[in-house]
Structure 1
């Protein structure tokens, strides 16, 4: 039987016959590849400079080597931090956590989790008549440095609004793939240590400023 190429395989309608011929094609290709490698190894053994040349020319591609330059990516934070004047490093954070109006059990459970993770936090149940401005004013009058609002819709946590007091800035972070600690196999209990925030892919100039 004459050897079958990949183009001819496409014209064969019988599935079993096509699979059989495809297996034969792959076998022949692998056989030919091993034969070429064996011949090349023998030649390179006699002439080591050929192997050195091949290795220099056949540099494997990586994610970094294929990366397209993006001018928004910053290798380091350039100039002054735009938000540095808003934060007083000597002042200990005092944080109030609340929810969106009409919050459900999921939002309250998530608030409890945040309180276990973030030090010096207080939870206040959001009354429906109070707006975000009302909550911010409430916090400022009681010397809170930050307000965290858990956004929940249809019994699903979908975001966090972070407000630095008294005059901003304000950030909104989407929340996805949220998994409660009790559903994590082998999870441990929170300790009193100050948590570490892991920030991945905050690589643009704006991202570094936010981080």
Structure 2
């Protein structure tokens, strides 16, 4: 058995390059499916190498052989990359286009609700929706921020940084006052939005955003919260109105959520302050960041993160203002039904 393992374990350079696709046949098949277009001959050779490796009985020898094959695979990739670069350089304008790697984003299953910004039906619906008064400049955003009852220290720190994050926002301490009583008071005092931060185990874990006076209301799960003191080289933001960037909100639901985020911030950003607020949607996770861009010299520009940093995951979209008992839901995230495919997204 030992002699047989040695015979299989000692492979020449050609066999090492053959086996660089993986150890077992299922690994080789995964590589074939997920990578860029490959040579069928190399795939067949990788399958043969996987069989050779699987015949090595000694676990330690099999692991050492696998490490050699992975090293050979990396060298082969570098060699092929340099060869393609040289060919592209020699061919000049006649060079073939670069191969794009396959990712979950560019392999996304097209949703029937995906739209373009200039879609006439979308433009008409957005001209008469609940946020139309903001985009027509009939209202100036005024935001009230509150928490669940008896907030902890970290939650209070978080909402104070959110107050610096959103211009013209105010903090209100609930003192066990139900939301159904807070909303009419907000409408009476001409607030345009209400933000409620919930907590669990002394950490922020949920956020309710209610657009006033007619809704809609969205509920997010909050995760990966980092306060300003936990971010390296952060600084307190200035009082200038920020620029707002909304990325990858491509469906009808995504447009609706993106418009709610935009309605939190005033029109006409003050570019002098160099503040940028970003809502970046990637795989239905919304990454919220705030930066200040810094001019290093005439050619170089750097970014300084100001904080807070957190991630949102949409749980539900409710028609009208907050109503937990009789509210009409436009969309609810049902994990077992909607997350059956990793390549299908809803925003």
TM over 0.5: yes
* Greater displacement, 16-25 / 78-87: 16-25
- C-alpha distance in structure 1 between counterparts of 2:51 and 2:182, whole Å: 69
- Distance of aligned partners of 1:189 and 1:15 in 2 relative to their CA distance in 1, 3 Å threshold: same
- C-alpha distance in structure 2 between counterparts of 1:186 and 1:176, whole Å: 22
Match 2:110 to one of 59, 69, 77: 69
Match 2:224 to one of 152, 156, 177: 177
Cα deviations across residues 99-135 of structure 1 (Å, max 9, x unaligned)?
112321122111110111211122111111x111111
Answer 1 or 2: which has greater strand percent: 2
Q: What is the deviation of 1:91?
A: 2.0
Show structure 1 runs of 5+ residues with no match.
none
Cα deviations across residues 14-65 of structure 1 (Å, max 9, x unaligned)?
234445655777899999x8xxx8xxx9xx9xxx9xxx89x58x95554476
* Greater displacement, 171-180 / 192-201: 192-201
Of the two structures, which has the highest relative contact order with CA contacts closer than 8 Å and spacing of 6 or more?
A: 1
2:192 maps to 1:145: yes
Q: Secondary structure at the match of 1:199?
A: strand
Match of 1:8 in 2: 52
TM-score (norm 2): 0.47
- C-alpha distance in structure 2 between counterparts of 1:65 and 1:96, whole Å: 38
- Distance of aligned partners of 1:159 and 1:199 in 2 relative to their CA distance in 1, 3 Å threshold: farther
- C-alpha distance in structure 1 between counterparts of 2:214 and 2:74, whole Å: 68
Match 1:89 to one of 129, 137, 140: 137
**Whose radius of gyration is greater, 1 or 2?**
1
Match 1:199 to one of 246, 254, 257: 246
Count of aligned residue pairs for this structure pair: 196
- C-alpha distance in structure 2 between counterparts of 1:146 and 1:23, whole Å: 57
Q: Secondary structure at the match of 2:224?
A: coil
Cα deviations across residues 149-184 of structure 1 (Å, max 9, x unaligned)?
111122111122112222222222221111001110
Show structure 2 runs of 5+ residues with no match.
1-6, 16-48, 259-347
- C-alpha distance in structure 1 between counterparts of 2:197 and 2:72, whole Å: 61
Match of 1:101 in 2: 149
TM-score (norm 1): 0.73
Q: What's the Cα RMSD here?
A: 3.7
- Distance of aligned partners of 1:11 and 1:98 in 2 relative to their CA distance in 1, 3 Å threshold: same
- C-alpha distance in structure 1 between counterparts of 2:145 and 2:65, whole Å: 66
Contact 1:86 1:168 survives alignment (8 Å): no
Contact 2:142 2:191 survives alignment (8 Å): yes
